[in-house]
Structure 1
């Protein structure tokens, strides 16, 4: 996958539905900002995790979940020292269509995809939607691996039922939200640039120019979207890339540091230890 826009096919081309599991921090300390074509449900089974959707951040606890619109930018992070076991359900709304003239596509699916109908994002245990669709979510989680003949029909039926309940709580988008979506779509361009050039000398001036904003306005919007300054975000992103390469490549630590944009090995080692509480060499030796 791309660090920001996922190109991975979730499920298969003819049945784009998939279920995954995540464990923070053992499997992953954080899943950086990204977006994809699928609608996503992130359900926390145990503990808690911090989930950001666009410019909002939610502390999602056991028995709670978030709903993420297609193409909405989001991230999953560890909350302080807490652990969290969660599940991801991803599916393309197109798999629920029956054709070009499908009434459900025109009336419900397309408005959700186009962000004209807005789903509530954070569903805590007291939200009335929780009791309505949590049983369906738990059933869908059982289809992570093996499926029997006809299970695809059941999955489609459950997704339809789930959206039926979600629609009860959807709101029509207003001008303010439409403007925010335009802003976030433009900022995606700068994130894409960072992904492709993270090893180079990236400046706020360059990033602002990519999204066609002034430096001051870009810096304000970037902090609002990510919760970090560009300098902090770039450092953490480079460290995530370096950590992944340390686990899966045999290159020298100094070579990996340099290829990830760290020209000073001492600074890289200090920053790495601060983030992962171990040296790069120790991290390389720890099991996944």
Structure 2
């Protein structure tokens, strides 16, 4: 039986989801499944077992599990003592960053887990308290949604991943293997981030990477959780939102400058992402009280 591919409906600009202290019962758990997103699972209470990539792990309070994207897994909570756990889901593109050549990458802990086939992190009591504090901080930012909350969530997540990457492991990966995915996909992400208007589409990006378009598309989706068109479009919308808030340029000029095919296309894409029109978004921001 093929594993079930779990779908997600995430904001392409902020591909992150938190399931805080969910109660996991045997009868409601998914069968063997996988997804493109990376997943961190922290157990607050209860007990059971966890099947991840062909191995079974004991699951109890204080345990933390690292599940890289597209890894088959399944939980088996105890029927008499259901699991209470927090799960953090995110696309690798949310935390991708330039290498500073110090042996670290935000997804290092996941890549070590994949290579060593050891998906359960051994946490000391201080490490458990740090994980719980990070989860609490992320949940608080998402609940209040104050200005900059997404940046705060990303920073808390990156700090958590850094702490996990420093945990001792039975098998250290060579430094050249720490970056998940080939170098060309990181180059493509950087190209899009720097200039989402002139970066080109799938054909141009694949050509620059010297790989076929189908292969580029497949690897890109594994890294970002979305296809090239949606990712580039999301980045263009971010640029358009900044122009709407920081200038008095008319909406049509902004649409054209940010790479949209006229006003109808811009309005449709903007409303799908934000739930309002570009003019409505600009007006609302100017009516909000300034602190």
TM (norm. structure 2) is: 0.48
TM-score, normalized by length of structure 1?
0.49
